[in-house]
Amino acid sequence: MFDRRFFAEGAAIVVLAVLCASTSNIVAARERKLAPVGDYPRALEVPAKVADPAPAAAVAPATDESAISTIPEALETAATTTAAAPSTATPPQPALSTTPTTQVKLPAGVPVPPKPKKLFAPHPDVAYVEITNADAMQLWHEKAIFIDARRTDVFNQGHIAGSRSMPVWEADINDRIRAFFDEVTNQQQPIVVYCSGGNCEDSHMLADKLWGAGYENVLVYKDGFPAWQRMGGAVE
């Protein structure tokens, strides 16, 4: 009897807890509400992981006893021969420098060839690829799409110029991804996702969602908005 009442009370507590949590989530503001599970075509696909290369096999040093035993005899013979023969070695000469004293300059009017730009190819088997500050600056100048994964209130305090707000923790994230999917039909173009850098994982989480929606060239700016500010990038 005691066991039945105990389990009944426990089940009632669990049901009440679920009801309270659901009610709290329903009445919560958009910034604090948890979104239901989304529907993405790649929801069951796992990004491929690159295996670490196997360490090179260590080569054991030779321990041939016969070779070791002949070393003292060889040294003794070499010392005797050196003492008997007169020294004919010439003093060392200074090395001749082969570096030209002056750099070759292009004639006036000849343009300097531009540095080749880095290409960002699609990677359909991997959810995202991390990029550096220089990569982010190049992509920004090339008018690539930038998406801010931080919360709306943080985005409004400052963000990379021209970036879109897509807060991964807010309740309408699935609606925003669907709207983005309807607008951006080229799924192979570079898309840069960022957050606050450091330990912030919001950009990686949003990149997984975008990859699940079918985008094959998502790039995570791992150092995020603080690094962009430090290197003088345009902000709004």
How does the average pLDDT of the chain come out, rounded?
Answer: 78
pLDDT in tens, 128-137: 999 999 999 9
118 alpha-carbon distance from chain centroid? 16
pLDDT in tens, 169-211: 999 999 999 999 999 999 999 999 999 999 999 999 999 999 9
Tokens 């606050």 sit on residue? 196
Mean pLDDT of 73-77: 53
Q: Largest Cα–Cα distance in the chain?
A: 111
Q: Which fold does the domain 129-230 belong to in CATH?
A: Oxidized Rhodanese; domain 1 (3.40.250)
Number of Cβ within 10 Å of residue 145's Cβ equals 20
pLDDT in tens, 102-138: 555 656 665 656 677 899 999 999 999 999 999 999 9
β-bridge mates for residue 219, sequence order? 129, 192
Mean pLDDT of 214-225: 97
Domain ranges for the chain, please list them.
Answer: 129-230
